[in-house]
């Protein structure tokens, strides 16, 4: 009879500046979509928990928002979410980009947060598909001289390269523990938040410039169809800060809102395995980023 291996379980905080690929990495590791992805920075606003189940370990990833500057309550909440996740985690996984190397923002994250926590830290060099192999060695050497990282793992989240190696490395630094989540659970996200994030992603991908950053989505209700239990009727409100932003999201003859709604509905049907009837409204709520009551209603944590 084969001897039982020690089981490990713990929390890994995925941290990095905005747009280094943390959400893409999490989705690829889990084999499903939890975090919304956009080519624009600051897409993730809240800590997303995702559970990777393996035969000898359970890795609970905390996909954190990118550390950013800002004075409004929303930005401060976003930063507090990332910091709190690092403090809670057993292991920190810092992500940088292979093609950009160490940036000023990366340096600040390392100096102001990671070094102070003194936890096992894995450096993940993402986007190795964008550089030649000979460019990686100097970056690995430079990184090793900056901080005593437990390990340095080059990966490509979009191509899935070296992710098996990353999982094995992370498992080594988790504490011995029984599973912390049931085998069939991969997140703690409320369904309303999950749906709101998908809608917000479609706004990010279809609108320009500052519009995505001034948008929030509240899912007001989710109901089953009266006659069709395989139908979900979802009512959601898109909040914007200015009247002209409302016009941009609605679009000429409502075409932009229709496009956003159609893309969100198709993805939700795929992810939820049910037919979806999605009703969207756009409302102006000036300075909603400073509205504590609305931010709490939208599910943002760490608001005092």
Residue 3 has pLDDT above 50, yes or no: no
Residue 234 CB-density burial (10 A; 0-12 exposed, 13-18 middle, 19+ buried)? buried
Return mean pLDDT, the chain: 84
pLDDT for res 10 = 96
Rounded-to-integer distance, Cα 68 and Cα 104, Å: 12
> 8-15 and 91-97: which strand pairing?
parallel
Rounded-to-integer distance, Cα 34 and Cα 49, Å: 8
Task: Please identify which residue in the block is written with the tokens 């990833």.
Answer: 61
The domain at 191-297 falls in which architecture? Answer: 2-Layer Sandwich (3.30)
Residues in the chain: 304
pLDDT for res 62 = 85
The region of weakest confidence among 10-14, 28-32, 135-139, 162-166 is 28-32
C-alpha neighbours within 13 Å on the C-beta side of residue 266: 6
**Predicted model pTM:** 0.71
CATH code at 8-172: 3.40.50.300
**When comparing pLDDT for 65 and 280, which is higher?**
280
pLDDT for res 210 = 58
Write out pLDDT tens, residues 220-229. 998 988 888 7
Strand order through the sheet with 57-63: 48-53, 57-63, 8-15, 91-97, 121-126, 151-154
Query: What ranges do the domains of the chain cover?
Result: 8-172, 191-297
Q: Which two tokens stand for residue 54?
A: 């393996």
Write out pLDDT tens, residues 57-105. 999 998 876 555 555 555 566 666 666 778 889 999 999 999 999 999 9
Q: DSSP letter at 30? A: H
pLDDT for res 299 = 60
pLDDT for res 180 = 93
| Domains 8-172 and 191-297 belong to one CATH topology | no
Rounded-to-integer distance, Cα 129 and Cα 104, Å: 23
Mean pLDDT of 266-285: 90
What does each C-alpha distance from 121 to 70, 92, 160, 163, 302 come to in angstroms?
27, 5, 21, 17, 24
Write out pLDDT tens, residues 159-218. 999 999 999 999 999 999 999 999 888 877 778 888 888 898 898 888 876 565 678 888
* Contact yes or no for 64/85 (Cβ under 8 A): yes
The dihedral sign for the CA sequence 198, 201, 206, 210: positive
**When comparing pLDDT for 289 and 66, which is higher?**
289
Q: Which residues of 80-115 are buried (b: 16+ CB within 10 A; e: fewer)?
A: bbbbbbbeebbbbbbbbbbebeeeebbeebbeebbe
Strand order through the sheet with 216-224: 216-224, 231-240, 275-284
Rounded-to-integer distance, Cα 233 and Cα 86, Å: 37
pLDDT for res 224 = 87
């Amino acid at each position: 009879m084969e001897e039982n291996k020690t089981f490990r379980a713990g929390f890994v905080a995925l941290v990095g500046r905005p747009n280094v690929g943390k959400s893409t990495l999490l989705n690829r590791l889990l084999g499903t979509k939890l975090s919304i992805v956009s080519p624009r920075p600051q897409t993730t606003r809240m800590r997303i928990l995702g559970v990777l189940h393996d035969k000898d370990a359970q890795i609970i990833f905390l996909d954190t928002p990118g550390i950013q500057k800002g004075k409004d309550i929303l930005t401060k909440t976003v930063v507090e979410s990332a910091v709190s996740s690092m403090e809670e985690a057993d292991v920190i996984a810092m992500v940088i980009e292979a093609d950009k190397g160490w940036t000023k923002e990366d340096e600040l994250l390392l100096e102001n947060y990671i070094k102070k926590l003194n936890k096992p830290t894995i450096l993940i060099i993402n986007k190795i598909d964008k550089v030649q192999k000979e460019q990686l060695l100097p970056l690995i050497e430079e990184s090793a001289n900056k901080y005593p990282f437990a390990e340095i793992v080059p990966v490509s989240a979009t191509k899935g390269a070296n992710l098996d190696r990353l999982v094995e490395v992370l498992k080594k630094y988790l504490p011995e523990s029984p599973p912390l989540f049931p085998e069939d659970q991969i997140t703690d996200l409320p369904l309303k938040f999950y749906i709101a994030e998908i809608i917000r992603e479609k706004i990010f991908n279809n609108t320009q410039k500052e519009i995505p950053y001034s948008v929030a989505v509240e899912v007001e209700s989710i109901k089953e169809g009266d006659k069709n239990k395989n139908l979900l009727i979802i009512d959601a409100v898109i909040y914007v800060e200015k009247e002209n932003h409302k016009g941009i999201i609605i679009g000429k003859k409502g075409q932009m809102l229709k496009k956003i709604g159609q893309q969100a509905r198709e993805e939700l049907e795929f992810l939820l395995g049910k037919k979806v009837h999605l009703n969207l409204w756009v409302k102006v709520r000036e300075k909603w980023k400073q509205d504590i009551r609305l931010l709490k209603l939208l599910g943002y944590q760490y608001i005092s």
